[in-house]
Structure 1
Amino acid sequence: MKFAIALFAPPHSPAARRALRFAEAVLAGGHEIVRLFFYQEGVHSASSNAVASQDELDVAAAWTRFVCDNQLDGVVCIAAALRRGVLNEEEATRYSRPAANLQAPWELSGLGQLHEATQQADRLVCFGGN
């Protein structure tokens, strides 16, 4: 089965941890993830500047490792990211900001990527949000 996974919650939330564990289980079960899409507060899980408490799982770092290790398509909504200060090098330069905090393997893109993923997947599973 092919899954598209959308994360709407910040990295310190239970929803972000559940989404990560679900994604790991999907691949462990022999299924496919066509795309991970981070939206709303979920964009913070792709930030290279997110720091977890010492006694907590570093969900942002775990997501980055998971995407890299499994060569997945990790997309961060550009509008939500810009609004929350999550910028790649190109956007940091465009908006004259001093630093970028979104690096590979993450890509900034629009909601069209979520729509496309839902067309390619058998299931869209969403975590977090209101």
Structure 2
Amino acid sequence: MKFAIALFSAPHAPSSRRALRFAEAALASGHEIVRLFFYQDAVHNASNAAVPPQDELNLPAEWGVFVRHHRLDAVVCIAAALRRGVLNEEEARRYGRPSANLGEPWDLSGLGQLHEAAQMADRLVCFGGP
């Protein structure tokens, strides 16, 4: 089965950990993930500036390792990211910010990528949100 996974919640939310565990289990069971889409507060999962307390899980780091290891298509909504100060090098330059906090393996793109992923997948699974 082909899955598209959309995540809406911040790294400290339980749904962020559930989304990662679901994605790991899906791949371990032989399924395919056509795209991961990070929206709303989930864009913070792609930030390399997050420093969680030492006694907590570092979900942004775990997401990065997971995406790189499996060479997944991981898209961060550009509008949500800009609003929350999550910038790649190009956007940091464009808006005159001193640094970027979004690097590999993440891609900034628009909401159309979520729509496309839903069309490519057999199932769109969403985690978090209001």
* Equivalence map 1:48-63=2 (5 Å): 48-63=48-63
1:6 aligns with 2:30: no
Could you list the structure 1 runs, at least 4 aligned residues long, displaced by more than 3 angstroms after superposition. none
Which residues of structure 1 form unaligned runs of 5+? none
Deviations 1:108-128 (A, max 9, x none): 000000000000000000000
Report how far residue 56 of structure 1 moved.
1.0
Q: CA deviation at 1:51?
A: 1.3
Q: How many residues align?
A: 130
Structure 1 partner of 2:31? 31
TM-score computed with the length of structure 2 as normaliser: 0.99
What's the counterpart of residue 86 of structure 1?
Answer: 86
Paired residue secondary structure (1:104)? coil
Q: Which residue type is aligned with residue 30 of structure 1?
A: G
Counterpart Cα distance in 2 of 1:22 and 1:51: 24
> Residue 111 of structure 2 corresponds to which residue in structure 1?
111
Aligned counterparts of 1:25 and 1:126: Cα–Cα separation in 2: 15
TM-score for the superposition, normalised by structure 1: 0.99
- Deviation at 1:53? 1.1
User: Whole-Å Cα distance in 1 between the matches of residues 6 and 105 of structure 2?
Assistant: 16
Identity across the alignment (%): 74
Structure 2: 5+ residue runs without aligned partners? none
RMSD across aligned positions (CA): 0.4
2 CA distance for matches of 1:20 and 1:87? 22
Q: Distance in 2 between matches of 1:12 and 1:51?
A: 11
Separation of aligned partners in 2, 1:122 and 1:52: 35
Q: Deviations over 1:27-66 (max 9, x none)?
A: 0000000000000000000000111111111000000000
Q: Distance in 1 between matches of 2:21 and 2:52?
A: 17
Q: 3-state SS of the aligned residue for 2:36?
A: strand
Task: State the shift of 1:93 in Å.
Answer: 0.1
